[in-house]
A = this chain, B = another copy of it.
Amino acid sequence: MIKYEDLDPEAPIGVFDSGVGGLTVVREIIRQIPNESLLYFGDTARVPYGTKSKDTVLRYTRQIVRFLESQKVKAIVVACNTVSAVALDEIEKEVNVPIIGVVKPGVKAASQATRNGKIGVIATKATIESNIYATYLKKIDPNAEVLGKACPLFVPLVENGLLEDPVTDEIAARYLSELMDRGIDTLVLGCTHYPLIRSTIARTVGEGVTLVNPAYETALELKALLSQYGIESKERPRLGSNKHRFYVSDDAQGFEVFANSVLKYGILSAQVINIENY
């Protein structure tokens, strides 16, 4: 149970992902609620989660949540579709601060965007196999038809910088043709890496398909959540990169390079911690 009075409005918000992809969620939070300080953890030593079993993802998530709680965060954002899909329901019961994932906000936006009820979801293998988007979408709209497609090559393509590239176009065409043939009018970018190839995906599916970016919707929901608990930061925005702190489980340098390409301002440094100790 969350004790509202214990939450410090000036504490940071913990945001975590299996690796670097969650930085697209960080970017949206900074855009929409710039007053807040963030404490990000990317599990770069154990990425990717999308191919791992539920048990493993759950064990890793527990370690990360223990780390974030040790840092006295006032709320936690699960900026990882795989964790939101396979572990959030159990983790929710175990933490002492408000926690939200990226799936439910994405589902809500998709159900509002669709006109013909045919919603495509692209994500990692684990997220697609969890069937989580379909499960939640059908709760909101029992008539919605959800078409899922795992796109396992998108993450390595993004992480290797092939954001605008004929190879990425070709792979996108293969992954998305089936969804287009089946007449979707809405497509959920169900992996935090995918907004980074949003223009390739948009070009492939054409103007008739509305793209839903759960990162954007999650930042909106986070704002509402902070307000609901009365824990919005009252401090004026501080300048400089110490406002946000970044932790990784490996390869801080590689993380910094990627982070500086995703976020508009430079991050000074990321610190490596041994997450297995939590």
Answer whether residue A256 sits at the interface, using C-beta atoms and an 8 A cutoff. no
Contacts of A44 in B (CB 8 A): 51
A-B contact pairs, 5 of them (CB 8 A): A53-B272, A152-B159, A152-B160, A167-B167, A167-B170
Q: Are A251 and B51 in contact (CB under 8 A)?
A: yes
Q: How far is the CB of A50 from chain B (nearest CB, A)?
A: 11
How many A residues have CB within 8 A of the partner chain?
25
Q: How far is the CA of A153 from the CA of B249 in the complex (A)?
A: 22
Answer whether residue A241 sits at the interface, using C-beta atoms and an 8 A cutoff. no
Q: Are B153 and A51 in contact (CB under 8 A)?
A: no
Answer whether residue A203 sits at the interface, using C-beta atoms and an 8 A cutoff. no
Q: Are A251 and B167 in contact (CB under 8 A)?
A: no
Q: How far is the CB of A243 from chain B (nearest CB, A)?
A: 27
Q: Are A250 and B56 in contact (CB under 8 A)?
A: yes
Measured CB to CB, the residues of A under 8 A from B are 44-46, 51-53, 56, 152-153, 155-157, 159-160, 162, 166-167, 170-171, 249-251, 254, 272, 276
Known: A152-B159, A153-B156, A167-B170. 20 other contacts (CB 8 A): A44-B51, A45-B46, A45-B52, A45-B56, A46-B46, A51-B254, A52-B250, A53-B250, A53-B251, A53-B272, A56-B250, A152-B156, A152-B160, A153-B157, A153-B160, A155-B156, A156-B156, A166-B170, A167-B171, A276-B276
Q: How far is the CA of A157 from the CA of B156 in the complex (A)?
A: 9
| 3 A-B pairs with the lowest CB-CB distances in the bound complex, closest first | A156-B156, A56-B250, A52-B250
Contacts of A276 in B (CB 8 A): 276
Q: How far is the CB of A160 from chain B (nearest CB, A)?
A: 5
Contacts of A156 in B (CB 8 A): 152-153, 155-156
Q: How far is the CB of A257 from chain B (nearest CB, A)?
A: 12
Contacts of A250 in B (CB 8 A): 52-53, 56
Contacts of A51 in B (CB 8 A): 44, 251, 254
Contacts of A272 in B (CB 8 A): 53
Q: Please, which residue of chain B has its CB at the minimum distance from the CB of A170?
A: B167
Of the listed residues A45, A155, A159, A162, the one surrounded by the most CB atoms of chain B closer than 10 A to its CB is A45
Q: How far is the CA of A53 from the CA of B162 in the complex (A)?
A: 23
Q: How far is the CB of A127 from chain B (nearest CB, A)?
A: 15
Contacts of A155 in B (CB 8 A): 156
Q: How far is the CA of A254 from the CA of B162 in the complex (A)?
A: 27
